[in-house]
Amino acid sequence: MSLKGKVAIVTGGASGIGRACSVRLAADGAAVAVWDLNAEGAEETVAAIEKAGGRAIACVGDAAEPEAVVASAARTRSMLGAPTILVNNAGITSFCRFIDIDEEAWDRMMRVNLKGPFLCTRAVVRDMLDAGWGRIINISSSSAQTGAPAMGHYAASKGGVIGFTKALAMEYAAQGITVNNIPPGFVDTPMLRSSPIDVDAAAAVAPMKRPGRPEDIAAACAYLASEEANYVTGQTLSVNGGRYLV
Ligand code: NAP
């Protein structure tokens, strides 16, 4: 699946799923801009890509802050060229009984998980329209498909990502831009490990008896970014080891 000549942006590319997507898209030939708050992690991702013979840059900033997003998009354009692949992956989670979710926690979740993809997409969609080709891949969550106790704000933000995906897919279908989302189920990343979830216990009851690997999500991301996926848009590609069957 060659992405040679393409420029990809992966938000939250310093860790977990975002790092795996960055490495995979670069292995498939794209030049990758690794956007993240975490400068050290972003540089580690860049180093891993370069070590494998790929091309990447780090853009450090908040993917949910308008000025930082515009600055990262400009840096990406000037250093790598016009981006036509965007992976909206940066996200946060938290576990909190509904009754204890205050407005600040709700707003923070919506800002990072939902407004972030809006801002990042807005910053680069014109590059895609100019190219007559684009791939937007949103990382949502199976919690928006199944529901999840103590995750009302998180599941709502990710449900918003799925709706956003479908709306944009319809709007840009005739312009060569596809928009899809991947809702991971239970993937072994720093986010999962820092959550209250007992990973071993959850794996024991999962159909495949293991958590997902970041590379499992990255493989789906690479497919959706590829030319082969040119007739796939507005879809939810559930990469979850059979935990939730659509
Ligand atoms: P992760 O290991 O915590 O990586 C997320 C990365 O995003 C971190 O480097 C983080 O930086 C960065 N980030 C957070 N907020 C940001 C912002 N505003 N601007 C720029 N970068 C930001 O998480 P992950 O498990 O790989 O999750 C990636 C995505 O998959 C998220 O959207 C998550 O909701 C979704 N997801 C994950 C799972 C799972 O089981 N792991 C399941 C469903 C959905 P800091 O570390 O500095 O905050």
- CATH of residue 40: 3.40.50.720
pLDDT digits (tens, 9 = 90+) for 13-72: 999 999 999 999 999 999 999 999 999 999 999 999 999 999 999 999 999 999 999 999
Q: 174: CA distance to ligand 1 center in Å?
A: 31
170-201 per-residue burial string, b: 16 or more CB within 10 A, e: under 16 = eebeeeebbbbbbbbbbbbbebbeeeeeeeee
Residue 129, domain member (yes or no): yes
CB-neighbour burial class of residue 2 (10 A; exposed 0-12, middle 13-18, buried 19+): exposed
Best mutation site among 45, 189, 239 for ligand 1 pocket (most ligand atoms within 8 Å of CB)? 189
**Number of residues written out for the chain:** 246
Quote the domain boundaries for residue 158.
7-187+217-229
Distance CA(198)–CA(181), nearest Å, equals: 26
Residue 211, domain member (yes or no): no
Given a contact cutoff of 8 angstroms between Cβ atoms, the answer to whether 8 and 83 are in contact is yes
- 64 close to ligand 1 (CB < 6 Angstrom): yes
- Strand ranges for the chain from DSSP E: 7-11, 31-36, 56-60, 85-88, 134-139, 177-182
Q: What is the pLDDT of residue 118?
A: 99
Residue 196, domain member (yes or no): no
- 159 close to ligand 1 (CB < 6 Angstrom): no
- Residue 74's contacts (CB-CB under 8 Å, 6 or more residues apart) are none
Q: Is 154 a catalytic residue?
A: yes
Distance CA(71)–CA(124), nearest Å, equals: 11
Q: Starting from the edge strand earliest in sequence, which strands make up the sheet with 31-36, in order? A: 56-60, 31-36, 7-11, 85-88, 134-139, 177-182
Q: 88: CA distance to ligand 1 center in Å?
A: 10
Residue 95, domain member (yes or no): yes
Q: What is the pLDDT of residue 108?
A: 98
Q: What is the pLDDT of residue 73?
A: 99
For the chain, the domain total comes to 1
Q: What is the pLDDT of residue 1?
A: 66
pTM value > 0.85: yes
Determine which residue's CA is closest to atom 34 belonging to ligand 1: 91
- 211 close to ligand 1 (CB < 6 Angstrom): no
- Residue 51's contacts (CB-CB under 8 Å, 6 or more residues apart) are none
Distance CA(211)–CA(191), nearest Å, equals: 13
- 191 close to ligand 1 (CB < 6 Angstrom): yes
Residue 244, domain member (yes or no): no
- 152 close to ligand 1 (CB < 6 Angstrom): no
74: number of Cβ within 10 Å: 12
Distance CA(148)–CA(185), nearest Å, equals: 11
Q: What is the pLDDT of residue 233?
A: 99
Determine which residue's CA is closest to atom 47 belonging to ligand 1: 38
Looking at the DSSP assignment, which residues form a beta bridge with residue 87?
A: 10, 137
- Residue 82's contacts (CB-CB under 8 Å, 6 or more residues apart) are 7, 127, 130, 131
Residue 145, domain member (yes or no): yes
Q: What is the pLDDT of residue 195?
A: 95
Q: What is the pLDDT of residue 246?
A: 79
Distances (CA, A) of 61 to 25, 42, 54, 58, 80: 21, 10, 22, 10, 18
Distance CA(37)–CA(31), nearest Å, equals: 20
Q: What is the pLDDT of residue 100?
A: 98
Tell me which amino acid residue 220 is. A
Q: Which residues of the chain have pLDDT under 70?
A: 1
- 76 close to ligand 1 (CB < 6 Angstrom): no
Q: 131: CA distance to ligand 1 center in Å?
A: 29
Determine which residue's CA is closest to atom 7 belonging to ligand 1: 12
Determine which residue's CA is closest to atom 33 belonging to ligand 1: 91
